[in-house]
Chain A
Amino acid sequence: DAGVIQSPRHEVTEMGQEVTLRCKPISGHNSLFWYRQTMMRGLELLIYFNNNVPIDDSGMPEDRFSAKMPNASFSTLKIQPSEPRDSAVYFCASSSNSGRWDEQFFGPGTRLTVL
C-alpha cells in the first residue's frame, strides 16, 4: 500500500511564479483534503473534496489559491502568483467517506519556499 503520494517533495520558486502541487490519494478513498502547516498558524485545512467535488473551500486564503480534483486518483493545488508568505509545508490527506468521521491518512508533504 503506497499511501498518499505527493509531489514534488520540495519546491523552491521565486515570487510571482506559478506553483502546482500534486496529490494521489489512497486507492478507494473518496475524500481528499489539502492542509497547510506553518510555524505561525499551525496546521490549517484549506479545502476538501468528496467524490471529486469541492465541499468546503473556506480555508483557501485568497484567490491566488485554487484546487482541482479531475478524477478520483489525482488532485492539484495551484498558487498563482506565489508570494513569500505562501512558504509552508502543504499536506494532502485522504479518507474513506462512510458518513461519519474517518481517519485521515496524510502524505509526506511538499515543502514550498517562495523567495
Chain B
Amino acid sequence: GESVGLHLPTLSVQEGDNSIINCAYSNSASDYFIWYKQESGKGPQFIIDIRSNMDKRQGQRVTVLLNKTVKHLSLQIAATQPGDSAVYFCAENAGGYQKVTFGTGTKLQVIP
C-alpha cells in the first residue's frame, strides 16, 4: 500500500463567506484551463473553464481568473455553502486539445 500521499492544502471558510482557491499551472502553451469539483466518493464534476485569450469568466456563483504572466489560475466562489465542500482541481489541456492534466487539488471545508 501507499504510506506517503499527496498533502492536499485545505481551505476552511465560514458559510456565506467568499472562497478563493488558487492554482499554479505549468504549461504556457495550454489553451484551456478548467476547474473541477470532486465530492467524496464521486467522480470529478466540471465547474467552469476559461480559454487562454481571456482573463476572467463568470458563472453561477463562480468566477475564474487567469493570469498568464505568472501562470496563475483562481476560482472564486461567492456566498459559499455547505454543498460546496469538496476537493477542487484545476486542470489544463496541455499536449493536445483533449488531453487534460490535473493539479493536485485543494480541499474546501465549509463551516456551518
* Chain A interface residues toward B at CB < 8 A: 4, 31, 33, 38-45, 48, 50, 55-56, 84, 87, 91, 93, 95, 97, 99-109
Whether B49 lies near A103 (C-beta < 8 A) is: yes
B102 contacts A by Cβ under 8 Å: yes
Whether A43 lies near B102 (C-beta < 8 A) is: yes
Known: A42-B102, A93-B43, A106-B44. A101 touches B93 (CB 8 A): yes
Whether B99 lies near A45 (C-beta < 8 A) is: yes
Bound CA–CA A40/B89 (angstroms): 15
Shortest Cβ distance from residue A75 to the other chain B in the assembled complex, whole angstroms: 15
The 8 Å CB contact of A43, one of B46, B89, B93, is B89
Q: Which residue of A lies closest to B5 (CB)?
A: A39
Q: Which residue of A lies closest to B46 (CB)?
A: A103
Bitwise, B71-112 to A at CB < 8 A (1) or not (0) is 000000000000000000100010011111111110000000
Shortest Cβ distance from residue B95 to the other chain A in the assembled complex, whole angstroms: 8
Whether B44 lies near A43 (C-beta < 8 A) is: yes
Whether A42 lies near B2 (C-beta < 8 A) is: no
Known: A40-B6, A87-B1. A106 touches B43 (CB 8 A): yes
Which residues of chain B are within 8 angstroms of A91 by Cβ–Cβ distance? 43-44
Q: Max chain A CB contacts within 10 Å: which of B6, B41, B99, B103? A: B99
Q: Which residue of A lies closest to B48 (CB)?
A: A103
Known: A101-B49, A103-B49, A104-B46. A42 touches B96 (CB 8 A): no
Which residues of chain A are within 8 angstroms of B105 by Cβ–Cβ distance? 42-43
Shortest Cβ distance from residue B87 to the other chain A in the assembled complex, whole angstroms: 10
Known: A39-B5, A101-B32. A56 touches B43 (CB 8 A): no
B31 contacts A by Cβ under 8 Å: yes
B4 contacts A by Cβ under 8 Å: yes
| Shortest beta-carbon contacts, A-B, top 3 | A39-B5, A106-B43, A101-B32
Which residues of chain A are within 8 angstroms of B49 by Cβ–Cβ distance? 101, 103
Which residues of chain B are within 8 angstroms of A39 by Cβ–Cβ distance? 2, 5-6
